[in-house]
Amino acid sequence: MSIEVQHVNKAFGDFKALNEINLAIESGELVALLGPSGCGKTTLLRIIAGLEKPDSGHIIFNGDDVSKRDVRKRNVGFVFQHYALFRHMTVFDNVAFGLRMKPRRQRPSETEIRAKVMELLQMVQLDWLADRYPEQLSGGQRQRIALARALAVQPEILLLDEPFGALDAKVRKELRRWLANLHEEINLTSVFVTHDQEEAMEVADRIVVMNKGVIEQIGTPAEVYENPANEFVYHFLGDSNQLQLNDQQIQFRPHEVELSRQAAPELQAGIVRDIRPLGAITRVTLKVAGQEQPIEAEVVRDNINLIGLQRGQTLFFRPNAS
């Protein structure tokens, strides 16, 4: 199901949370809303879900204007940042909730509900936890139960608010891949909110970069990283170096550097402050005369210039932004 956001504005008192938002998401896409906290991304997600009313503008699902449609009738799955599992219900009852709330005529029988819930729990690999209560689960387990609960009513749109925000680093990585696979398997349109650019780059088909209530850029991970529309996007999507060259200020990413042990006219000199092996790459921090900010260079770990390199030595470099 496609989603269209047209001319959406939203203010809380004097604070303008969203300013003229226009966005089109195609059916089956996995889109990330990326931006710093307070940029309006969660508000946008809640407006799409129907949890918040925009001051003006329209939300369109598959060509139907749903702006006035009640939250119950929009048929979206929503996963809250802190999951919002019903604390007094077992895992099973949590997942069954949406099915049991259906009007009597559409409601499946208890046997059908049982089968459907167990199927969902198997899908998230937690069928063995059916009788537990949410407080007895780990963060990652709660997250997957919240997802199973949202999927139980067979939504065509899945919305996730900071789905990995409350998890520790390792679980977060696992779940990211799992979510991306799941999205492939069950043909859904998914939108998730995150403030973590790495997460957005790894999971999303397209990234919507937001700042202060406006959309700065929309594009594939490669597009927004390689061709940032402006300063903000450039800085938000990755680390960057600033170098004062004559009268000019140059910006480049840490991996866009060429190193050399020999001086040359086109090369800058820097004193090695730190050498950090980070797995496949190694990061060298250089102090350049005449500027406070150090330069970080990331090169493959077997780069020839690293052999025998020590702190305090002088190294020569050149930004090679393509």
Q: Nearest CA to 43 among 197, 203, 163, 161? A: 161
Shortest distance in whole angstroms from residue 51 CB to another protein: 6
Residue with Cβ nearer another protein (135 or 247): 135
Shortest distance in whole angstroms from residue 104 CB to another protein: 12
Shortest distance in whole angstroms from residue 314 CB to another protein: 46
Shortest distance in whole angstroms from residue 155 CB to another protein: 9
Under 8 Å between Cβ of 233 and 201: no
Identity (one letter) of the amino acid at 271? I
Residue 159, classed as helix, strand or coil, is strand
Residue with Cβ nearer another protein (157 or 297): 157
Residue with Cβ nearer another protein (61 or 78): 78
Residue with Cβ nearer another protein (31 or 157): 157
Residue with Cβ nearer another protein (83 or 236): 83
Residue 70 to residue 249: CA distance in whole angstroms? 52
The H or E element that residue 197 is part of is helix 197-203
DSSP-derived pairing of the beta strands 314-319 and 15-25? unpaired
Task: Find how far residue 87's CA is from the centre of its chain.
Answer: 27
Residue with Cβ nearer another protein (97 or 234): 97
Q: How far is CA 234 from CA 22, 32, 175, 187, 279, in A?
A: 21, 17, 27, 32, 25
For the chain, the first-to-last Cα distance in angstroms comes to 38
Contact residues toward another protein (CB under 8 A) are 49-53, 70-72, 76-78, 80, 82, 84-89, 97-98, 101-102, 149-150, 152-153
195 backbone dihedrals φ, ψ, rounded to 5°: -110, 5
Shortest distance in whole angstroms from residue 60 CB to another protein: 19
Under 8 Å between Cβ of 5 and 210: no
Residue with Cβ nearer another protein (47 or 203): 47
Question: Which token pair is 194?
Answer: 């995150």
Residue with Cβ nearer another protein (54 or 221): 54
Shortest distance in whole angstroms from residue 247 CB to another protein: 52
Strand order in the sheet with 257-260: 257-260, 314-319, 268-278, 281-287, 295-300
Shortest distance in whole angstroms from residue 151 CB to another protein: 11
Residue with Cβ nearer another protein (139 or 294): 139
Task: Find how far residue 98's CA is from the centre of its chain.
Answer: 27
Shortest distance in whole angstroms from residue 98 CB to another protein: 4
Secondary structure of 215-231 in HEC code, one letter for each residue? EEEEECHHHHHHCCCCH
The H or E element that residue 38 is part of is none
Task: Find how far residue 119's CA is from the centre of its chain.
Answer: 28
Shortest distance in whole angstroms from residue 278 CB to another protein: 36
